[in-house]
Amino acid sequence: MKKSYLYILPLLLVLLILALIWLFGRDGSDRFGKDHPVPSGLECSIPFAEDSPAAVDSLDSNTWLAVWNGIQGGIYKYDFYYGALPAGEIFLRCYEVTGNIPLSTDRIEERSKVSTDSTSAFSRLVNHQEFTIYEGDWDDYYAARIEVWFRDAATKQERKLMDKVYRVEGWMR
């Protein structure tokens, strides 16, 4: 029985070496950001540093959406301000800009969703709601269009309220 172990040990050693080469010999990148660089001249907003203030002006629709970096690259928080709306849900949809590629479609809408009561004046409807963009890697930036959507509680009809282009990175899994 001892002789059969002599044949298995070299095989296990070779498998271990191949596994280590596979794990440490690749860069771990999914290349999404590298394959979709920010186009030259494209104006992109940069997410705020965590816990920094954001100036919101009811006359400047460009300030109604504020995005912050979260605790790690690819994790973000957002605030959203808007005028009168019926009761419903606010949520995000995100797209890579150059190819209009939907980003993290199976998660962003659900994670970014916030239920709102009806409003009669300009107010904050979303307060630091977290969402994650999975495509790409840390420090591998690309342009993403972040769209804010509203779903009416009574009619279930959806409409886009605004969009804004941000320089984003993906969350490394």
For residue 60, being part of any structural domain is answered with yes
For residue 1, being part of any structural domain is answered with no
The reported pLDDT for the residue numbered 91 is 98
Domain count, the chain: 1
For residue 25, being part of any structural domain is answered with no
Domain region containing 97: 32-168
pTM: 0.81
Listed residue (150, 133, 131) closest to 141, CA to CA: 133
> Sorting pLDDT into bands at 50, 70 and 90, what band is 35?
confident
For residue 158, being part of any structural domain is answered with yes
Question: What amino acid is encoded at 40 in this protein?
Answer: S
Q: Give per-residue pLDDT as tens, 1-27.
A: 456 666 777 777 777 777 656 555 555
Tokens of 40: 């030259």
Domain containing 143 — which CATH number? 2.60.40
For residue 55, being part of any structural domain is answered with yes
Listed residue (123, 139, 147) closest to 32, CA to CA: 139
For residue 131, being part of any structural domain is answered with yes
Q: Which residues neighbour 123 within 8 Å (Cβ) at sequence distance 6 or greater?
A: 81, 82
The reported pLDDT for the residue numbered 63 is 92
The reported pLDDT for the residue numbered 54 is 87
The DSSP element (H or E) to which 73 belongs, if any, is none
> Sorting pLDDT into bands at 50, 70 and 90, what band is 34?
confident
β-sheet bridge partners, residue 92: 148
For residue 108, being part of any structural domain is answered with yes
For residue 69, being part of any structural domain is answered with yes
Q: Give per-residue pLDDT as tens, 115-165.
A: 999 999 999 999 999 999 999 988 899 999 999 999 999 999 999 999 999
